[in-house]
Amino acid sequence: MKGLSVSKAVTALMLAGLVLLPLYSYLSGNIFILTLFTRIVILAMAAASLNLIMGFGGMMSFGHAAYLGIGGYAVGMLAQEGIGSGFIQFPVALAASAVYALVIGALSLRTRGVYFIMITLAFAQMAYYVASGLARYGGDDGLTVYKRSDFHGLINLSDRTQFYYLCLACLFGVIFLIWRIVNSRFGLVVQGLRSNEQRMQAIGFPAKRYKLVCFVISGMMCGLAGALLANNTDFVSPAVMYWTRSGDLMVMVILGGMGTLFGPVMGAVVYLLLEEFLSQITEYWALIMGPLLLLIVLFGRGGIMGLLGRVGRG
Amino acid sequence: MLLVVEQFLNGLQFGLLLFLLAAGLTLVFGIMDLVNLAHGSLYMIGAYFAATFAAWTGSFLLGALMALGATLILGIVLEMSALRHLYGRDHLDHVLATFGLILFFNEAVRLIWGPAGLALPLPPWLTVPVPILPGIQYPAYRLAIIIVALLVALLLYLGVMRTRIGMLIRAGASNREMIGALGINIKLLYTLVFGLGAALAGLAGLMQAPILTVQIGMGENILILAFVIIVIGGIGSIRGAFLAAIFVGMIDTLGRAFLPNLLRQVLSGAAASTAAPALSSMLIYLLMAIVLVVRPEGLFPANRR
């Protein structure tokens, strides 16, 4: 019980920090930190969405970055065509991610294990090459988003603080939704499928349909992150979908603690801050980051959340 | 006609090169059940070693041989220091750990050799065109790659299927404990298999080096191709890897060579020239998706499990 409370305390501290960050940025005059954390919050959302299928559903998608790209391109392409309203851009981003996830999921869920990892990767690579071929929308060079999504005065995405809080609200919304899903009857079935698919099927649950719905929800959440990311960087390019980006997301989830509610957020914060911190010390930051990941795998089972749990138990 | 034969041979050459990479990967993956994303890094390092040693010794062949040995040693060190602790762990742990190794190796290469790429010049006797058919010539070096890769494939097949060590390796793949109980040093065996896989990756890298620029990150693109191949071929199956590699090499090369013209027949010029590169890059992924949808275990699943 004490172990649980340490990880809970650290999580609460982290969340309070995220909420109060703009205040710190304002008081210290450090604008950069707000920009950095906007990115962290958005990628934490993507990691959380991956965790929904990976941690709770046992589906290891190695192509999750594709949704970042699809959400981003939905915003970028509509903006390019003169449709700047966020009330159109965001629903389109969600719908596009859902359709992609539905098709990919229906095909990929025929396989399992390493084959599933590889087929999701293959589809993401296809999306990468499709985006590279979009000459009208920048092709390889990517697409500049000249104007951020317009929410008709409701919220101004060009205002750093407002945009940050929008992203944070979306992150909390996504995590709340995941919490509701995981604890619902639907979520329990999906988790049951992870432990023993045959048994669940024998009881009479249509396994693939449950997994597919979960896969689509996860894709839409990541698509939302993609739409926000395009607004954050004012730019979207095929590189967002490259397989190493999917690897980054996976690292965040595993680093923070797979199958825990706040683990992926923790993982994203730690991974991206570490990257930022190390790159300030040395140009060769990856020289430290790489072995660090290896050590975490070797000695830190269960990620940061697992570590905190063990510290608590003493 | 000339173009078709040449592209056909190019496809074969690329496919055989991919086989070297995929064979090492499928040995490690199929036998030790280790998902090694850093396999592409060994390919990259093989190329860097070759370029460096060739410049030192002034001899292409000597440099290549030294690079091969160095990659073998690096593989053995890597297995003993880090990867052997990962056996029996979850595939995800492998992905994370070896993803970390990719970061490390890319950065280490940048630190040692700098951010600019290297070139590995060929000796004159390998640059001459060789007549292969009346009126058709083919570069000697590409021909050499085909011959070396075919030789390696043959040796690998004989080694795994016909020797005692090969038998132990195959037995270890099915049941690790049993082989250990029979008094075989399974740890050493695994280290050797990993070293062999690393050397194969290094060989692929050093042979590709004179054709491409030796640069950071060169392993990542081709690693994915190697994974595609072992998944299409069936994990753990050397024969599957061989056939799938040639298939993928052909499709990729022929697609890039002929797809633009084919598309131009049906689409307008501008549309065809934008769609063709994307489509030809996608072809093999499309192929893999189709194979997995139809045969979820790959085309030639290893006959175990």
The reported pLDDT for the residue numbered B76 is 96
Which ipTM did the prediction report? 0.78
pTM for the full predicted model: 0.85
Label residue B3 exposed, middle or buried (CB < 10 Å: 0-12, 13-18, 19+): exposed
Q: Is the pLDDT of residue B42 over 60?
A: yes
Give the pLDDT band (50/70/90) at residue A174. Answer: very high
> What is the band of A314 on the pLDDT scale with cuts at 50, 70, 90?
low
Q: Which residues of A touch B278 (CB under 8 A)?
A: 129-130, 132-133
Query: Tokens 């998902």 identify what position?
Result: B35
How do A235-236 and A143-144 pair as beta strands?
antiparallel
**Lookup result for tokens 């081709």:** B222
> Is A291 at the interface with chain B, CB within 8 A?
yes
Tell me whether residues B224 and A125 touch, CB distance under 8 A.
yes
Helices A263-281 and A2-28: crossing angle in degrees, nearest 10, is 50
Question: What pLDDT shows up at residue B173?
Answer: 73
Q: Does A254 touch chain B (CB under 8 A)?
A: yes
CB spacing of A293 vs B228 below 8 angstroms: no
DSSP states along A244-263 = HHHHHHHHHHHHH-TTSSSH
User: Tens of pLDDT along A96-126?
Assistant: 999 999 999 998 898 888 788 888 988 898 8
Q: What is the pLDDT of residues B194-241, one digit of tens each?
A: 999 999 999 999 999 998 889 988 888 888 888 889 888 887 788 889
Question: How many Cα neighbours within 13 Å face the side chain of B262?
Answer: 11
Nearest CB to B100: which of A118, A119, A290?
A290
Nearest residue of chain A to residue B283 (CA atoms): A126
Cβ contact (<8 Å) for B104 and A290? yes
Rounded CA-CA distance B119/B114 in Å is: 13
Chain A's closest residue to B281, CA to CA, is: A129
**Contact in structure between A49 and A218 (CB atoms under 8 Å):** yes
Q: Left, alpha or beta for B285 (phi > 0: left; psi -120 to 50: alpha)?
A: alpha
State the pLDDT at residue A4.
Answer: 61
Residues B103, A290: C-beta atoms closer than 8 Å: yes
Looking at the complex, does the CB of residue B216 fall below 8 Å from at least one CB of chain A? no
Q: Which residues contact A250 (CB under 8 A, 6 or more apart)?
A: A50, A54, A60, A62, A64, B92, B95, B96, B99
Amino acid occupying residue B296: P
Average pLDDT for chain A: 90
In degrees and rounded to multiples of 5, residue B227 shows phi and psi of: -65, -40
Whether B97 sits inside 8 A of A294 (CB atoms) is yes
Whether B244 contacts B85, CB under 8 Å: no
* CB < 8 Å to B283, chain A: none
Contacts of B105 in chain A (CB under 8 A): 290
Residue among B35, B79, B87, B95 with most chain A CBs within 10 A, to mutate: B95
